[in-house]
Protein backbone atom coordinates (compact mmCIF):
# COMPACT_ATOMS: atom_id res chain seq x y z
CA UNK A 1 0.00 0.00 0.00
CA UNK A 2 1.36 3.46 -0.91
CA UNK A 3 1.79 6.18 1.68
CA UNK A 4 -0.89 8.29 -0.02
CA UNK A 5 -3.34 5.40 0.08
CA UNK A 6 -2.61 4.79 3.74
CA UNK A 7 -3.20 8.45 4.57
CA UNK A 8 -6.42 8.44 2.56
CA UNK A 9 -7.99 5.52 4.39
CA UNK A 10 -9.02 7.45 7.56
CA UNK A 11 -10.51 10.19 5.39
CA UNK A 12 -12.41 7.63 3.30
CA UNK A 13 -13.69 5.87 6.41
CA UNK A 14 -14.97 9.12 7.88
CA UNK A 15 -16.64 10.09 4.62
CA UNK A 16 -18.21 6.63 4.37
CA UNK A 17 -19.48 6.93 7.94
CA UNK A 18 -21.07 10.32 7.29
CA UNK A 19 -22.49 9.17 3.97
CA UNK A 20 -24.02 6.04 5.53
CA UNK A 21 -25.62 8.13 8.25
CA UNK A 22 -26.96 10.56 5.66
CA UNK A 23 -28.44 7.68 3.67
CA UNK A 24 -30.19 6.35 6.75
CA UNK A 25 -31.30 9.88 7.60
CA UNK A 26 -32.57 10.27 4.05
CA UNK A 27 -34.62 7.09 4.38
CA UNK A 28 -36.45 8.40 7.41
CA UNK A 29 -36.61 11.91 5.96
CA UNK A 30 -38.08 10.62 2.70
CA UNK A 31 -40.80 8.72 4.54
CA UNK A 32 -41.44 11.86 6.59
CA UNK A 33 -41.77 13.91 3.39
CA UNK A 34 -44.22 11.39 1.96
CA UNK A 35 -46.32 11.49 5.12
CA UNK A 36 -46.41 15.30 5.19
CA UNK A 37 -47.05 15.59 1.46
CA UNK A 38 -49.87 13.05 1.35
CA UNK A 39 -51.60 14.33 4.48
CA UNK A 40 -51.23 18.05 3.85
CA UNK A 41 -51.32 18.20 0.02
CA UNK A 42 -49.55 20.85 -2.08
CA UNK A 43 -51.18 23.81 -0.29
CA UNK A 44 -50.56 22.50 3.21
CA UNK A 45 -47.03 21.40 2.33
CA UNK A 46 -46.34 24.86 0.92
CA UNK A 47 -47.59 26.52 4.12
CA UNK A 48 -45.46 24.20 6.26
CA UNK A 49 -42.34 24.86 4.15
CA UNK A 50 -42.98 28.59 4.26
CA UNK A 51 -43.27 28.75 8.06
CA UNK A 52 -40.31 26.46 8.79
CA UNK A 53 -38.10 28.42 6.36
CA UNK A 54 -37.98 31.33 8.82
CA UNK A 55 -35.47 29.84 11.36
CA UNK A 56 -33.09 28.73 8.63
CA UNK A 57 -33.28 32.16 7.02
CA UNK A 58 -32.56 34.16 10.16
CA UNK A 59 -30.11 31.57 11.46
CA UNK A 60 -27.94 31.92 8.39
CA UNK A 61 -28.05 35.71 8.58
CA UNK A 62 -27.40 35.85 12.31
CA UNK A 63 -24.55 33.38 12.83
CA UNK A 64 -22.07 35.72 11.10
CA UNK A 65 -19.94 32.87 9.72
CA UNK A 66 -18.83 31.97 13.25
CA UNK A 67 -19.68 28.22 13.08
CA UNK A 68 -17.31 27.95 10.11
CA UNK A 69 -14.63 29.64 12.18
CA UNK A 70 -15.19 27.27 15.10
CA UNK A 71 -14.94 24.29 12.75
CA UNK A 72 -11.72 25.66 11.24
CA UNK A 73 -10.00 26.28 14.58
CA UNK A 74 -11.20 22.97 16.03
CA UNK A 75 -9.22 21.25 13.29
CA UNK A 76 -6.16 23.22 14.47
CA UNK A 77 -6.37 21.32 17.80
CA UNK A 78 -7.21 24.28 20.04
CA UNK A 79 -9.09 23.93 23.33
CA UNK A 80 -12.49 22.24 22.88
CA UNK A 81 -13.83 23.62 26.15
CA UNK A 82 -12.82 27.14 25.14
CA UNK A 83 -14.54 26.80 21.77
CA UNK A 84 -17.66 25.35 23.40
CA UNK A 85 -17.95 28.22 25.87
CA UNK A 86 -17.28 30.75 23.13
CA UNK A 87 -19.96 29.13 20.98
CA UNK A 88 -22.48 29.23 23.83
CA UNK A 89 -21.74 32.91 24.39
CA UNK A 90 -22.32 33.63 20.71
CA UNK A 91 -25.60 31.67 20.76
CA UNK A 92 -27.00 33.60 23.73
CA UNK A 93 -26.09 37.03 22.38
CA UNK A 94 -26.96 36.48 18.73
CA UNK A 95 -30.19 34.51 19.21
CA UNK A 96 -31.53 37.09 21.68
CA UNK A 97 -30.87 39.89 19.20
CA UNK A 98 -32.30 37.95 16.24
CA UNK A 99 -35.50 36.92 18.00
CA UNK A 100 -36.05 40.50 19.23
CA UNK A 101 -35.70 41.88 15.70
CA UNK A 102 -37.98 39.21 14.26
CA UNK A 103 -40.66 39.83 16.88
CA UNK A 104 -40.79 43.47 15.84
CA UNK A 105 -40.71 42.84 12.08
CA UNK A 106 -43.11 39.88 11.93
CA UNK A 107 -46.13 42.02 10.93
CA UNK A 108 -44.22 43.20 7.85
CA UNK A 109 -42.94 39.68 7.05
CA UNK A 110 -46.47 38.31 7.27
CA UNK A 111 -47.63 40.78 4.64
CA UNK A 112 -44.73 40.09 2.25
CA UNK A 113 -42.54 36.96 2.23
CA UNK A 114 -44.87 34.81 4.35
CA UNK A 115 -48.18 36.02 2.96
CA UNK A 116 -48.98 32.70 1.23
CA UNK A 117 -48.56 30.52 4.36
CA UNK A 118 -50.49 33.07 6.45
CA UNK A 119 -53.36 33.04 3.96
CA UNK A 120 -53.47 29.24 3.98
CA UNK A 121 -53.40 28.97 7.78
CA UNK A 122 -55.55 32.00 8.54
CA UNK A 123 -54.29 35.22 10.09
CA UNK A 124 -54.56 34.19 13.75
CA UNK A 125 -53.15 30.68 13.32
CA UNK A 126 -50.43 31.90 10.98
CA UNK A 127 -49.29 34.51 13.50
CA UNK A 128 -49.10 31.86 16.22
CA UNK A 129 -47.12 29.44 14.04
CA UNK A 130 -44.54 32.05 13.03
CA UNK A 131 -44.02 33.01 16.67
CA UNK A 132 -43.87 29.37 17.78
CA UNK A 133 -41.21 28.54 15.21
CA UNK A 134 -38.97 31.27 16.68
CA UNK A 135 -38.18 28.82 19.50
CA UNK A 136 -36.07 26.87 17.04
CA UNK A 137 -33.80 29.86 16.38
CA UNK A 138 -31.64 29.51 19.54
CA UNK A 139 -31.94 25.71 19.41
CA UNK A 140 -30.75 25.60 15.81
CA UNK A 141 -27.90 28.02 16.50
CA UNK A 142 -26.77 25.94 19.48
CA UNK A 143 -26.69 22.75 17.41
CA UNK A 144 -24.81 24.53 14.62
CA UNK A 145 -22.24 26.36 16.74
CA UNK A 146 -21.42 23.47 19.04
CA UNK A 147 -21.94 20.67 16.51
CA UNK A 148 -19.12 21.90 14.28
CA UNK A 149 -16.70 21.00 17.08
CA UNK A 150 -17.56 17.33 16.65
CA UNK A 151 -16.63 17.34 12.96
CA UNK A 152 -13.53 19.44 13.58
CA UNK A 153 -12.38 16.82 16.12
CA UNK A 154 -13.32 14.02 13.70
CA UNK A 155 -15.88 12.67 16.19
CA UNK A 156 -17.90 11.47 13.24
CA UNK A 157 -19.61 8.50 14.87
CA UNK A 158 -21.11 10.61 17.64
CA UNK A 159 -22.51 13.24 15.30
CA UNK A 160 -23.87 10.72 12.81
CA UNK A 161 -25.63 8.90 15.65
CA UNK A 162 -27.31 12.17 16.62
CA UNK A 163 -28.30 12.77 12.98
CA UNK A 164 -29.92 9.37 12.65
CA UNK A 165 -31.65 9.67 16.03
CA UNK A 166 -33.06 13.07 15.10
CA UNK A 167 -34.40 11.69 11.81
CA UNK A 168 -36.14 8.84 13.63
CA UNK A 169 -37.67 11.15 16.22
CA UNK A 170 -38.82 13.54 13.47
CA UNK A 171 -40.67 10.77 11.68
CA UNK A 172 -42.31 9.46 14.85
CA UNK A 173 -43.41 12.87 16.11
CA UNK A 174 -44.72 13.99 12.71
CA UNK A 175 -46.69 10.78 12.15
CA UNK A 176 -48.19 11.16 15.62
CA UNK A 177 -49.02 14.87 15.22
CA UNK A 178 -50.17 14.93 11.59
CA UNK A 179 -51.29 11.36 10.91
CA UNK A 180 -52.77 10.24 14.24
CA UNK A 181 -53.85 13.41 16.00
CA UNK A 182 -54.76 15.17 12.72
CA UNK A 183 -53.27 18.49 13.80
CA UNK A 184 -52.45 19.53 10.23
CA UNK A 185 -49.85 22.20 9.52
CA UNK A 186 -49.89 23.29 13.16
CA UNK A 187 -48.91 19.79 14.27
CA UNK A 188 -46.11 19.65 11.70
CA UNK A 189 -44.70 22.99 12.86
CA UNK A 190 -44.94 21.93 16.51
CA UNK A 191 -43.07 18.74 15.67
CA UNK A 192 -40.23 20.77 14.17
CA UNK A 193 -39.92 22.76 17.39
CA UNK A 194 -39.75 19.63 19.56
CA UNK A 195 -37.19 17.88 17.38
CA UNK A 196 -35.00 20.98 17.09
CA UNK A 197 -34.78 21.37 20.87
CA UNK A 198 -34.01 17.68 21.42
CA UNK A 199 -31.28 17.75 18.76
CA UNK A 200 -29.61 20.81 20.30
CA UNK A 201 -29.57 19.16 23.73
CA UNK A 202 -28.03 15.97 22.32
CA UNK A 203 -25.25 17.89 20.54
CA UNK A 204 -24.39 19.90 23.66
CA UNK A 205 -24.11 16.75 25.80
CA UNK A 206 -21.90 15.07 23.18
CA UNK A 207 -19.50 18.02 22.94
CA UNK A 208 -19.14 18.20 26.73
CA UNK A 209 -18.05 14.55 26.69
CA UNK A 210 -15.55 15.23 23.90
CA UNK A 211 -14.14 18.20 25.82
CA UNK A 212 -13.40 15.86 28.74
CA UNK A 213 -11.93 13.06 26.63
CA UNK A 214 -10.05 15.11 24.01
CA UNK A 215 -9.52 18.63 25.44
CA UNK A 216 -7.05 19.91 22.81
CA UNK A 217 -4.38 22.55 23.29
CA UNK A 218 -4.37 26.24 24.06
CA UNK A 219 -7.56 28.29 23.62
CA UNK A 220 -7.95 30.50 20.57
CA UNK A 221 -8.82 34.15 21.01
CA UNK A 222 -12.30 35.43 20.30
CA UNK A 223 -10.69 38.01 18.03
CA UNK A 224 -9.25 35.27 15.81
CA UNK A 225 -12.62 33.55 15.58
CA UNK A 226 -14.35 36.82 14.72
CA UNK A 227 -11.71 37.61 12.10
CA UNK A 228 -12.14 34.30 10.27
CA UNK A 229 -15.91 34.49 10.65
CA UNK A 230 -15.99 37.97 9.15
CA UNK A 231 -14.17 36.73 6.06
CA UNK A 232 -16.38 33.69 5.55
CA UNK A 233 -19.68 35.37 6.54
CA UNK A 234 -20.39 36.94 3.12
CA UNK A 235 -20.04 33.48 1.57
CA UNK A 236 -22.36 31.95 4.17
CA UNK A 237 -25.15 34.47 3.74
CA UNK A 238 -24.94 34.80 -0.04
CA UNK A 239 -24.60 31.02 -0.34
CA UNK A 240 -27.78 30.47 1.65
CA UNK A 241 -29.76 33.01 -0.34
CA UNK A 242 -28.34 31.53 -3.52
CA UNK A 243 -29.79 28.17 -2.46
CA UNK A 244 -33.11 29.56 -1.24
CA UNK A 245 -33.75 32.75 -3.25
CA UNK A 246 -35.99 30.77 -5.60
CA UNK A 247 -38.22 29.61 -2.74
CA UNK A 248 -38.42 33.04 -1.13
CA UNK A 249 -39.20 34.80 -4.40
CA UNK A 250 -41.82 32.20 -5.29
CA UNK A 251 -43.56 33.04 -2.02
CA UNK A 252 -43.40 36.76 -2.78
CA UNK A 253 -44.17 36.73 -6.53
CA UNK A 254 -46.83 33.99 -6.51
CA UNK A 255 -48.42 34.90 -3.19
CA UNK A 256 -51.95 34.15 -4.39
CA UNK A 257 -51.48 30.42 -3.71
CA UNK A 258 -49.23 28.18 -1.61
CA UNK A 259 -49.50 25.32 -4.16
CA UNK A 260 -46.55 26.46 -6.38
CA UNK A 261 -44.31 26.55 -3.31
CA UNK A 262 -45.44 23.06 -2.33
CA UNK A 263 -44.73 21.73 -5.82
CA UNK A 264 -41.37 23.47 -6.05
CA UNK A 265 -40.33 22.25 -2.62
CA UNK A 266 -40.88 18.71 -3.87
CA UNK A 267 -38.70 19.43 -6.93
CA UNK A 268 -35.96 20.76 -4.66
CA UNK A 269 -36.29 17.85 -2.24
CA UNK A 270 -35.82 15.31 -5.03
CA UNK A 271 -33.00 17.14 -6.81
CA UNK A 272 -31.09 17.75 -3.59
CA UNK A 273 -31.02 14.04 -2.80
CA UNK A 274 -27.68 13.92 -4.60
CA UNK A 275 -26.30 16.42 -2.06
CA UNK A 276 -25.79 13.48 0.27
CA UNK A 277 -22.61 12.64 -1.64
CA UNK A 278 -20.86 16.06 -1.60
CA UNK A 279 -22.20 16.90 1.87
CA UNK A 280 -20.64 13.73 3.28
CA UNK A 281 -17.34 14.68 1.65
CA UNK A 282 -17.29 18.36 2.59
CA UNK A 283 -18.20 17.62 6.20
CA UNK A 284 -14.85 15.86 6.58
CA UNK A 285 -12.89 17.64 3.83
CA UNK A 286 -12.78 21.14 5.32
CA UNK A 287 -11.33 20.16 8.73
CA UNK A 288 -8.99 17.69 6.97
CA UNK A 289 -7.62 20.45 4.72
CA UNK A 290 -7.39 22.89 7.65
CA UNK A 291 -5.30 20.40 9.61
CA UNK A 292 -2.99 19.54 6.65
CA UNK A 293 0.11 21.16 5.21
CA UNK A 294 -0.28 23.11 1.95
CA UNK A 295 1.34 20.35 -0.14
CA UNK A 296 -0.76 17.64 1.47
CA UNK A 297 -3.96 19.67 1.00
CA UNK A 298 -3.18 20.27 -2.69
CA UNK A 299 -2.50 16.57 -3.21
CA UNK A 300 -5.93 15.66 -1.78
CA UNK A 301 -7.89 18.14 -3.90
CA UNK A 302 -7.79 16.43 -7.31
CA UNK A 303 -8.75 12.88 -6.29
CA UNK A 304 -11.48 14.05 -3.89
CA UNK A 305 -13.09 16.56 -6.28
CA UNK A 306 -12.96 14.24 -9.31
CA UNK A 307 -14.40 11.23 -7.51
CA UNK A 308 -17.10 13.29 -5.82
CA UNK A 309 -18.11 14.81 -9.16
CA UNK A 310 -18.22 11.39 -10.82
CA UNK A 311 -20.36 9.83 -8.10
CA UNK A 312 -22.67 12.86 -8.03
CA UNK A 313 -23.27 12.76 -11.80
CA UNK A 314 -23.94 9.02 -11.65
CA UNK A 315 -26.45 9.48 -8.83
CA UNK A 316 -28.19 12.30 -10.73
CA UNK A 317 -28.64 10.11 -13.83
CA UNK A 318 -29.99 7.24 -11.73
CA UNK A 319 -32.33 9.59 -9.85
CA UNK A 320 -34.33 10.66 -12.93
CA UNK A 321 -36.31 7.42 -13.50
CA UNK A 322 -36.65 6.86 -9.75
CA UNK A 323 -38.17 10.31 -9.23
CA UNK A 324 -40.49 9.93 -12.22
CA UNK A 325 -41.84 6.60 -11.00
CA UNK A 326 -42.05 7.74 -7.38
CA UNK A 327 -44.13 10.81 -8.20
CA UNK A 328 -46.50 8.98 -10.55
CA UNK A 329 -47.05 6.03 -8.22
CA UNK A 330 -46.94 7.61 -4.76
CA UNK A 331 -47.65 11.36 -5.10
CA UNK A 332 -49.69 11.89 -8.28
CA UNK A 333 -50.88 15.31 -7.07
CA UNK A 334 -47.23 16.48 -7.39
CA UNK A 335 -46.74 15.47 -11.05
CA UNK A 336 -46.40 19.13 -12.09
CA UNK A 337 -43.15 19.36 -10.12
CA UNK A 338 -41.26 17.08 -12.55
CA UNK A 339 -40.32 19.67 -15.24
CA UNK A 340 -38.78 21.93 -12.58
CA UNK A 341 -36.96 18.92 -11.12
CA UNK A 342 -35.36 18.06 -14.48
CA UNK A 343 -34.19 21.66 -15.00
CA UNK A 344 -32.88 21.95 -11.46
CA UNK A 345 -30.96 18.64 -11.39
CA UNK A 346 -27.90 19.65 -13.50
CA UNK A 347 -27.62 22.82 -11.44
CA UNK A 348 -27.47 20.77 -8.26
CA UNK A 349 -24.67 18.71 -9.83
CA UNK A 350 -22.72 21.93 -10.45
CA UNK A 351 -23.38 23.11 -6.92
CA UNK A 352 -22.13 19.76 -5.58
CA UNK A 353 -18.76 20.37 -7.23
CA UNK A 354 -18.72 23.93 -5.88
CA UNK A 355 -19.32 22.61 -2.33
CA UNK A 356 -16.18 20.46 -2.46
CA UNK A 357 -14.06 23.26 -3.89
CA UNK A 358 -15.26 25.86 -1.39
CA UNK A 359 -14.38 23.45 1.43
CA UNK A 360 -10.85 23.19 0.05
CA UNK A 361 -10.50 26.96 -0.42
CA UNK A 362 -11.86 27.79 3.04
CA UNK A 363 -9.77 25.02 4.61
CA UNK A 364 -6.67 26.65 3.15
CA UNK A 365 -7.63 29.76 5.15
CA UNK A 366 -8.74 31.78 2.11
CA UNK A 367 -12.52 32.25 2.44
CA UNK A 368 -12.46 35.65 0.73
CA UNK A 369 -12.72 34.38 -2.89
CA UNK A 370 -15.59 32.11 -1.82
CA UNK A 371 -17.48 35.15 -0.53
CA UNK A 372 -16.91 37.05 -3.77
CA UNK A 373 -18.02 34.11 -5.92
CA UNK A 374 -21.12 33.51 -3.80
CA UNK A 375 -22.06 37.18 -4.06
CA UNK A 376 -21.83 37.15 -7.86
CA UNK A 377 -23.85 33.93 -8.05
CA UNK A 378 -26.53 35.40 -5.79
CA UNK A 379 -26.79 38.51 -7.98
CA UNK A 380 -27.34 36.28 -11.03
CA UNK A 381 -29.86 34.17 -9.13
CA UNK A 382 -31.97 37.10 -7.97
CA UNK A 383 -32.03 38.76 -11.39
CA UNK A 384 -32.92 35.54 -13.19
CA UNK A 385 -35.67 34.67 -10.67
CA UNK A 386 -37.32 38.08 -10.96
CA UNK A 387 -37.38 37.73 -14.74
CA UNK A 388 -38.26 34.04 -15.10
CA UNK A 389 -40.70 33.28 -12.25
CA UNK A 390 -43.52 35.55 -13.52
CA UNK A 391 -43.22 33.99 -16.99
CA UNK A 392 -42.48 30.34 -16.27
CA UNK A 393 -43.41 29.79 -12.61
CA UNK A 394 -41.53 27.03 -10.81
CA UNK A 395 -39.66 26.02 -14.00
CA UNK A 396 -38.32 29.57 -14.20
CA UNK A 397 -37.16 29.35 -10.58
CA UNK A 398 -35.34 26.11 -11.40
CA UNK A 399 -33.69 27.68 -14.45
CA UNK A 400 -32.47 30.61 -12.36
CA UNK A 401 -30.89 28.20 -9.89
CA UNK A 402 -29.25 26.27 -12.73
CA UNK A 403 -27.66 29.48 -14.01
CA UNK A 404 -26.32 30.67 -10.64
CA UNK A 405 -25.13 27.25 -9.42
CA UNK A 406 -23.19 26.63 -12.62
CA UNK A 407 -21.63 30.10 -12.50
CA UNK A 408 -20.50 29.50 -8.89
CA UNK A 409 -18.95 26.14 -9.82
CA UNK A 410 -16.99 27.67 -12.70
CA UNK A 411 -15.65 30.45 -10.47
CA UNK A 412 -14.63 28.03 -7.71
CA UNK A 413 -12.81 25.81 -10.20
CA UNK A 414 -10.61 28.70 -11.28
CA UNK A 415 -9.96 29.83 -7.69
CA UNK A 416 -9.02 26.30 -6.62
CA UNK A 417 -6.72 26.00 -9.66
CA UNK A 418 -4.96 29.25 -8.73
CA UNK A 419 -4.39 28.14 -5.13
CA UNK A 420 -3.40 24.53 -5.80
CA UNK A 421 -1.56 24.90 -9.10
CA UNK A 422 -3.72 22.16 -10.65
CA UNK A 423 -5.47 22.45 -13.99
CA UNK A 424 -9.28 22.49 -14.33
CA UNK A 425 -8.98 19.10 -16.03
CA UNK A 426 -7.22 17.66 -12.97
CA UNK A 427 -9.96 18.96 -10.67
CA UNK A 428 -13.09 18.08 -12.65
CA UNK A 429 -12.54 15.29 -15.20
CA UNK A 430 -12.48 11.77 -13.69
CA UNK A 431 -9.71 9.40 -14.68
CA UNK A 432 -9.99 5.85 -15.96
CA UNK A 433 -9.08 4.35 -12.60
CA UNK A 434 -11.86 6.32 -10.91
CA UNK A 435 -14.43 5.05 -13.40
CA UNK A 436 -13.23 1.51 -12.73
CA UNK A 437 -13.37 2.09 -8.97
CA UNK A 438 -16.95 3.36 -9.16
CA UNK A 439 -17.97 0.42 -11.35
CA UNK A 440 -16.39 -2.03 -8.90
CA UNK A 441 -18.16 -0.38 -5.98
CA UNK A 442 -21.50 -0.57 -7.79
CA UNK A 443 -21.03 -4.24 -8.70
CA UNK A 444 -19.99 -5.06 -5.14
CA UNK A 445 -23.08 -3.31 -3.77
CA UNK A 446 -25.35 -5.20 -6.20
CA UNK A 447 -23.73 -8.50 -5.25
CA UNK A 448 -24.30 -7.80 -1.55
CA UNK A 449 -27.94 -6.95 -2.17
CA UNK A 450 -28.40 -10.20 -4.12
CA UNK A 451 -26.78 -12.24 -1.35
CA UNK A 452 -29.02 -10.67 1.28
CA UNK A 453 -32.08 -11.19 -0.92
CA UNK A 454 -31.15 -14.84 -1.39
CA UNK A 455 -30.60 -15.30 2.33
394 pLDDT higher than 70 = yes
CB within 8 Å of 80: residues ≥ 6 apart: 74, 149, 153, 207, 210, 211, 214, 215, 216
452 pLDDT higher than 70 = no
For residues 359 and 288, give the distance between their C-alpha atoms in angstroms, rounded to a whole number.
10
Q: How confident is the model at residue 455, as a pLDDT?
A: 56
Arithmetic mean of pLDDT, 133-150: 86
pLDDT tier for residue 453 given thresholds of 50, 70 and 90:
low
256 pLDDT higher than 70 = no
pLDDT tier for residue 281 given thresholds of 50, 70 and 90:
confident
Arithmetic mean of pLDDT, 27-33: 78
Arithmetic mean of pLDDT, 353-370: 90
| Per-residue pLDDT tens over the stretch 153-200 | 878 788 788 888 888 898 899 888 888 888 888 888 888 889 989 999
Extents of the domains making up the chain: 12-220, 234-455
Arithmetic mean of pLDDT, 211-216: 81
Arithmetic mean of pLDDT, 114-143: 76
CB within 8 Å of 429: residues ≥ 6 apart: 306
Arithmetic mean of pLDDT, 90-119: 79
Q: How confident is the model at residue 8, as a pLDDT?
A: 52
120 pLDDT higher than 90 = no
CB within 8 Å of 455: residues ≥ 6 apart: none
Arithmetic mean of pLDDT, 21-49: 77
413 pLDDT higher than 90 = yes
pLDDT tier for residue 305 given thresholds of 50, 70 and 90:
very high
pTM, rounded to two decimals: 0.69
Percent of the chain residues past pLDDT 70, beyond the cut? 90
Q: What is the Cβ-side half-sphere exposure of residue 292, based on CA atoms within 13 angstroms?
A: 22
Average pLDDT, the chain: 83
5 pLDDT higher than 50 = no
Identify the weakest region by mean pLDDT among 131-145, 169-183, 247-261, 415-429: 247-261
Q: How confident is the model at residue 449, as a pLDDT?
A: 62
pLDDT tier for residue 29 given thresholds of 50, 70 and 90:
confident
391 pLDDT higher than 80 = yes
**Under 8 Å between Cβ of 274 and 348:** yes
Arithmetic mean of pLDDT, 248-255: 70
Amino acid sequence: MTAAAAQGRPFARRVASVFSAKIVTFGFGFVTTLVVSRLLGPDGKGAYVGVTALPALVGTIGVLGLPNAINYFTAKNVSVRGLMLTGLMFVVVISAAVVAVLWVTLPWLEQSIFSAPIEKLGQGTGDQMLRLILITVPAGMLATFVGTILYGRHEVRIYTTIMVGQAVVTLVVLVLAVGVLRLGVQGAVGSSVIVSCLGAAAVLIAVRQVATRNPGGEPVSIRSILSYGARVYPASITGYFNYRADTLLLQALLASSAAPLGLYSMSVTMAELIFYVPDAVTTIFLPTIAGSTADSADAKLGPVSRMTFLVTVSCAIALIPVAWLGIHLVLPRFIDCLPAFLVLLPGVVSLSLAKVLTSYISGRGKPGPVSVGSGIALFLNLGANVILIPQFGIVGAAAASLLSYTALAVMMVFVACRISGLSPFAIVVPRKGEFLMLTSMALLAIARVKRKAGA
